[in-house]
Amino acid sequence: MLNVEHLTLAVADPDTGEETEILRGNSFSLRQGEALGLVGESGSGKSMTLKCLLGIEPGGARVGGSIELDGTDLLAARGEQLRRIRANDLALIAQNPHGALNPVLRVERFLVEGMADARGIPKAAAKARAADLLRQVGITDTERVLGSYPHQLSGGMLQRVVIAGAMSGEPKLLLADEPTTALDVTTQAEVVAILDEKRRQHGLSMIFVTHDLDLAAAVCDRLAVMKDGAILEIGTPDDIRDRPKTEYTRALMAARPLLHPAGRAPVPANGTEAHE
Amino acid sequence: MLYVLKRLVALALVLLVSSFIVFSGMYLAPGSPEQFLVQGRTVSPEVLDAIRAQYGLDDPFLVRYWNWLIDVLHGDFGRSLLTQQDVSTLIESRLPTTLFLAAYAAILIVLLGVGLGILAATRSGAFEKVVVFGSNLGFAVPTFFAALVLMALFGANLGWFPVSGSGEGFADRVWHLTLPAIALAFPAIAVVARITRTAVREEQGSEHVVMAVARGVPKRIVLGRHTIRNSMLPVTTVIGTNIAGLLASAFVIEYAFTLDGIGSLLVNSVQKKDFAVVQAIALIMVLAFGLINLIVDLLYAVIDPRVRLAREVSA
């Protein structure tokens, strides 16, 4: 369903005009319902790959190659067409939920906006659905959360809100950009579990960006290891773990702290965090 | 509500302290009122004593302050030493012109400052350069010079606007005060436009705005609801301090355009050592400054729930 060919991204220095290559001609594809993990150190171009898919790369950047989503050329999309693709087909879950929501607007506004303003659902219907969306991600006191401003909620709670917002449409592709990195350890597992559960329920395809190999292995069907803007290898978690093809992957495997040698299993969601 | 009450009490305290400073400051300046009253003539000590007794100048300082303060609280600012007129009546006749001028300038600051700033931030290119250039000009050009240029160009040469007097009735006033208001607002428009442009630019790059774009929220809504609304936080403060300063800087403009506002009255009264009038005008300026700052702080709470909720918790 997603086909990325020779994706390049270059950013020009505003003073010298010198171009830096951030992505170096990466190709990968995604099947319907598949989860692909983009793993690598910070600065390896994982997040930039997501930004290219959404068309939110930094101003002045030059994108090359092609990105096709169900036959639509994303890189050629402009204006209203691009907006519709972002609203209907793609859903981003950003790293820091406190940054992702407008600090001066209530949570309800965030959810309703995604449905009503972005996708044209009548406002009243969107409002009616908002509480239900929150219940689906394990939030019980929906009234309070809907009426809260972002700074009044914890990172884990807010990330659930973002996930609820991402699930409010029927996106073709979920883009998760280090969705748990900004959260504390106990919340991380819960948020990953909810994300994983919702994705499987809806049969969504997902690109999961993380620096955590074990986490990616637990959540994804295939992993792509990135370094300095290039994809070094793509394979199943078992391939990457047991039969790494490059020296870098081997080093990456050796560098991770081995708390659970068998790989980390997602903790089931229990919604306890909703009462904090 | 409790917050507003607290702020009003604080404002009253500020007024009390400044009233003392204003009152005592006049006595620190060289020269004394009775010397002004005799206007340099040589008079017998008996006459001088009589004058001092009439104006209560022999009472201890604190007693004089107390008497003055009580009178002020009753709306009685005393009599002008110069014209023997009631100060309240004198100011009442002058205040409308200044308030009209300041309000006119304030509207220009908000509309043009914020408007030009937003336009400069959202459409780059020639327009942005013009705004930045105009903003530099506004910083550099002194108010009185702007007044002279406006008078020469639109008053004397083109004859579109009058160059003196404050007019009768609303429309005539607007017509008379247009050039003065532009001259008065010019530096503030420059500052506000520049701050607005920077604030909007900064907000455009902020995470939640990028997220709104990525969620497919229409451009118009991203701009209005997220970018501009949030960028108004710093802009509000700047607008507030600039508007609060208008009354104080109005005297230059009133002088240049020969308007009979309290600014020109203040200049005259200071020159003539007309204590009672200067004290009254100084207090009015402090009051205006305090009130405008209070309004800005309340606006801040309306715009930003973080400010509002933090206060609710502490109150």
Closest Cα in chain A to B303: A104
Distance CA(A179)–CA(B185), nearest Å, equals 49
**Cβ of A66 under 8 Å from any chain B Cβ?**
no
Query: pLDDT tens-digit profile of A114-150?
Result: 999 999 999 999 999 999 999 988 899 999 999 999 9
Contacts of B212 in chain A (CB under 8 A): 102, 113
Q: Which amino acid is at A237?
A: P
**Cβ of A148 under 8 Å from any chain B Cβ?**
no
**Looking at the partner chain, which of A94, A105, A119 has a beta carbon nearest the beta carbon of B211?**
A94
H/E stretch holding A22 = strand A19-30
Contact A104 B229 (CB under 8 A): yes
Distance CA(B17)–CA(B173), nearest Å, equals 36
Distance CA(A157)–CA(A147), nearest Å, equals 13
- Whether residue A192 contacts residue A180, with contact meaning beta carbons closer than 8 Å, is answered with yes
Mutation target for A interface from B201, B209, B211, B300: give the one with most A CBs within 10 A: B211
Q: What confidence score (pLDDT) does residue A273 get?
A: 43
Helix, strand, coil % (nearest 5) of chain A? 40, 25, 35
**Cβ of A105 under 8 Å from any chain B Cβ?**
yes
Residue-range domains of chain A with CATH: 34-56+79-275 (3.40.50.300)
**Looking at the partner chain, which of A83, A96, A151 has a beta carbon nearest the beta carbon of B216?**
A83
Contacts of B229 in chain A (CB under 8 A): 104
H/E stretch holding A174 = strand A173-177
Contact A118 B211 (CB under 8 A): no
Residue B273, phi then psi, degrees to nearest 5: 55, 40
Q: What confidence score (pLDDT) does residue A26 get?
A: 92
Q: What confidence score (pLDDT) does residue B35 get?
A: 66
Mutation target for A interface from B215, B217, B309: give the one with most A CBs within 10 A: B215
Closest Cα in chain A to B227: A102
Q: How many CB pairs under 8 A join A and B?
A: 76
Checking if the pLDDT of B254 tops 90, the result is no
Q: Is A8 or B23 the better-scoring residue by pLDDT? A: A8
Chain B nearest C-alpha distance from A253 (Å): 32
Residue-range domains of chain B with CATH: 95-263 (1.10.3720.10)
- Cα of B28 vs its chain's centroid, Å: 26
Distance CA(A18)–CA(A14), nearest Å, equals 8
Contacts of B206 in chain A (CB under 8 A): 99
Mutation target for B interface from A117, A148, A159: give the one with most B CBs within 10 A: A117
Closest Cα in chain B to A80: B218
Contact A56 B213 (CB under 8 A): yes
Stretch B231-250: mean pLDDT: 87
Contact B208 A101 (CB under 8 A): yes
Contacts of A84 in chain B (CB under 8 A): 216
Tokens standing for residue B120 = 């400069």
Query: pLDDT tens-digit profile of B54-111?
Result: 767 777 888 888 888 888 888 888 888 777 788 888 888 888 888 889 999 999 999 9
Query: Which range, of A128-132, B145-149, B213-217, averages the lowest pLDDT?
Result: B145-149
Distance CA(A217)–CA(A233), nearest Å, equals 14
**Cβ of A101 under 8 Å from any chain B Cβ?**
yes
Checking if the pLDDT of A274 tops 50, the result is no
Distance CA(B304)–CA(B311), nearest Å, equals 11
Tokens standing for residue A14 = 């505003």
Neighbours of B178 (CB within 10 A): 17
**Cβ of A241 under 8 Å from any chain B Cβ?**
no
Q: What confidence score (pLDDT) does residue A163 get?
A: 92
Work out the pLDDT band at B313, boundaries 50, 70, 90.
low
Contacts of B310 in chain A (CB under 8 A): none
Query: pLDDT tens-digit profile of A183-216?
Result: 888 888 888 999 999 899 888 999 999 988 888 9
- Cα of B282 vs its chain's centroid, Å: 12
**Cβ of A86 under 8 Å from any chain B Cβ?**
yes
- Whether residue A105 contacts residue A239, with contact meaning beta carbons closer than 8 Å, is answered with no
Contacts of A114 in chain B (CB under 8 A): 215, 217
Contacts of A118 in chain B (CB under 8 A): 215-218
Q: What confidence score (pLDDT) does residue B180 get?
A: 87
pTM to 2 decimal places: 0.80
Chain A nearest C-alpha distance from B135 (Å): 24
Q: What confidence score (pLDDT) does residue B262 get?
A: 87
Query: pLDDT tens-digit profile of A12-52?
Result: 887 887 888 899 999 999 999 999 999 988 889 999 999 99
Scanning B226-274, the segments in alpha helix (DSSP H) are 229-244, 246-256, 262-271
Checking if the pLDDT of B36 tops 70, the result is no
Contacts of B208 in chain A (CB under 8 A): 99-103
Mutation target for B interface from A102, A161, A207: give the one with most B CBs within 10 A: A102
Closest Cα in chain B to A97: B208
Stretch A139-168: mean pLDDT: 92
Q: What confidence score (pLDDT) does residue B71 get?
A: 86
Predicted-complex ipTM score: 0.87
